[in-house]
Amino acid sequence: MNIKLLIEYLGTNYGGWQKQKNSITIQEKIEECLLKIFREKISIVGSGRTDSGVHALEQVANFHVSDLNKINMIELKNKLNQNLVADIRIKSCTEVNKDFHSQHSCKQKTYLYRIKTLEPCNVFEEGRFWYINREIDIKSIKLISKNFIGKKDFKNFCKVGYAGNSTIRTIKKISVVRKKNFIDIKITGEGFLRGMVRLMVGSFINYEKGMIKKADINNALKNRNKLKINLSVPACGLYLYNVEY
């Protein structure tokens, strides 16, 4: 039996999605709960890694169990949520085709980056937005974001340790929306490199501030030169927004 999980979490207190030796992770916490429910060690596979401090509105994961372990999906969701801590929640459990793989079956993902300007974050917003103490010209961000659309080499827009053999990725859509002093940047692509979204948003902000020029970004995308300022924005504003199959 192959079971798909739809998960939301606040990443503030975790070392990211993927299990690691020296940090508590989302994957680890969910697997601990599955061990209690099924009484066997179960490994889950996520649609992709999220780094330390990064949140998810719709992370997708799947795992396999013996057909002998038949369980009602609503009951499974409820049991998981009863055992999980408050900052991790299972939104749904679904039995899927045995060939479904949360990472390899993925067609595209959307990440959301959230910024608050001028007025500092209150206690309910702290750790969920990047606060910038000034007004932001979103027209400038919209303009430069167009340069990232399409199939490009993002070698200069990722962190060391990216997965795979190629740094070429396809960005399908970028939207920038402001409501009062909140700015939401959504980036949709077929796949992303490690740290790629945070470095892209950083380049948007550096361009808007006048710290780098359009030519600098174009040269970086064409692998002619690295950016002289390569800002990786804070993890607290980043959310895995949606995964499509």
The whole-angstrom separation of Cα 95 and Cα 91 is 14
The whole-angstrom separation of Cα 39 and Cα 20 is 22
Residue 220 zone, left/alpha/beta (φ > 0; ψ -120 to 50; rest): alpha
The whole-angstrom separation of Cα 229 and Cα 215 is 13
Contact 8, 56 (CB under 8 A): yes
The pair of three-digit structure tokens given for residue 71, joined into one six-digit string? 């369980």
Percentages helix, strand, coil for the chain, rounded to the nearest 5? 25, 30, 45
The pair of three-digit structure tokens given for residue 179, joined into one six-digit string? 């409501």
Q: Which of 51, 87, 184, 216 is flagged as catalytic? A: 51
The whole-angstrom separation of Cα 120 and Cα 112 is 20
HSE at residue 140, side-chain half, CA atoms within 13 A, is: 16
The pair of three-digit structure tokens given for residue 69, joined into one six-digit string? 């372990």
Sign of CA dihedral 47, 48, 53, 56: negative
The whole-angstrom separation of Cα 193 and Cα 175 is 19
The pair of three-digit structure tokens given for residue 208, joined into one six-digit string? 């808007």
Give catalytic status of residue 51 as yes or no. yes
| Other beta carbons less than 10 A from residue 87's beta carbon | 15
Known catalytic residues?
A: 51
